[in-house]
Amino acid sequence: MDRHITAPISDEDAKSLQAGDYVYITGTIYTARDAAHKRMYEALENHQPLPMDVKNNIIYYMGPSPAREGHPIGSAGPTTASRMDKYAPALLDLGLKGMIGKGKRSQEVQQATVRNGAVYFAAIGGAGALLSKSITAAEVIAYDDLGTEAIRKLKVKDFPVIVVIDSKGNNLYETAIQEYSEI
């Protein structure tokens, strides 16, 4: 089913999304990948504040290529989400409602997603040029020294994603493959 949602995402919207839904996100989301997650995790361990309030927010696992003049961002597709599995449950327990990436997640992340009524979305891997067209503004808000891995605040319009893990624990990667598997 096609859905249009706004970000930050409400508890109700997050819970209503189902694995397999094709979702267009409009609003504000944040980027963070390996190095930024490590720093956020260390900040939490040291009882320090995070660079942004994650409550009801969506984190996009993405490190863009540099923007050309006149463009807000360069190529901007998802990176493999499983590298963030170590860090994601702590953020979900703080109220993070959505993650955008690609690829499988651990049992711990799936359980934390269900426990917190959150959603794991996949964006199309390797479609960075196309996806950049749905990003209207980008601003580095933390960890500038990390270059492409800095945390960016993005304004997105109809950013296309697919629900892979929903708040009930359904997993599209598992069900969709079964449907087409012949061996």
Partner 1 sequence: MRTINVSEITSNIRQMCIEANHYLTKDMDAAMKNALDTEKAPLGKQILNQLQDNLKIAAEDMIPICQDTGMAVIFMEIGQDVHLEGGVLQDAINEGVRQGYVEGYLRKSVVKDPLIRENTKDNTPAVIHYDIVPGDKVKITVAPKGFGSENMSRVFMLKPADGIEGVKNAILTAVKDAGPNACPPMVVGVGVGGTFEKCALMAKKALTRNVDERSQIPYVKELEEEMLATINQLGIGPGGLGGTITALAVNINTYPTHIAGLPVAINICCHVNRHAVREL
Could you say which of 117, 130, 155, 170 contacts partner 1 (CB under 8 A)?
A: 130
* Parallel/antiparallel/unpaired status of strands 151-165 and 98-101: unpaired
**Nearest of 168, 75, 80 to residue 122 by alpha carbon:** 80
Candidate list 2, 12, 144, 179; residue touching partner 1; CB under 8 A: 179
Half-sphere exposure of 112 (CA within 13 A, CB side): 21
Of residues 3 through 32, those in contact with partner 1 by CB under 8 A are none
129 contacts partner 1 (rule: CB under 8 A): yes
Give CA 46 to chain center in angstroms: 24
Q: Is 177 in the site for partner 1 (CB under 8 A)?
A: yes
Pairing of strands 22-31, 151-165: antiparallel
- Interface with partner 1, residue 50, by CB under 8 A: no
Q: Which of 54, 41, 35, 80 is nearest to 153 (CA)?
A: 54
65 near partner 1 (CB under 8 A): yes
- By CB under 8 A, what part of segment 143-162 binds partner 1? 146-149, 160, 162
Rounded-to-integer distance, Cα 76 and Cα 62, Å? 7
The minimum distance between CB 95 and partner 1, in angstroms, equals 27
Distance in Å, CB of 46 to partner 1, minimum:
20
With CB under 8 A as the contact rule, the residue among 82, 106, 111, 170 that binds partner 1 is 82
Answer whether 37's CB lies under 8 Å from 54's CB: no
- Binding partner 1 (rule: CB under 8 A), the pick from 116, 132, 134, 167 is 132
For position 46 contacting partner 1 by CB under 8 A, the verdict is no
Choice between 8 and 102, CB closer to partner 1: 102
The upper half-sphere exposure of residue 57, i.e. CA atoms within 13 Å in the direction of its Cβ, equals 20
Q: Calculate Rg over the CA atoms of the chain.
A: 15
Residues that bind partner 1 (CB under 8 A): 35, 62-68, 71, 74-77, 79-80, 82, 102-104, 122, 124-130, 132-133, 146-149, 160, 162, 172-173, 175-183
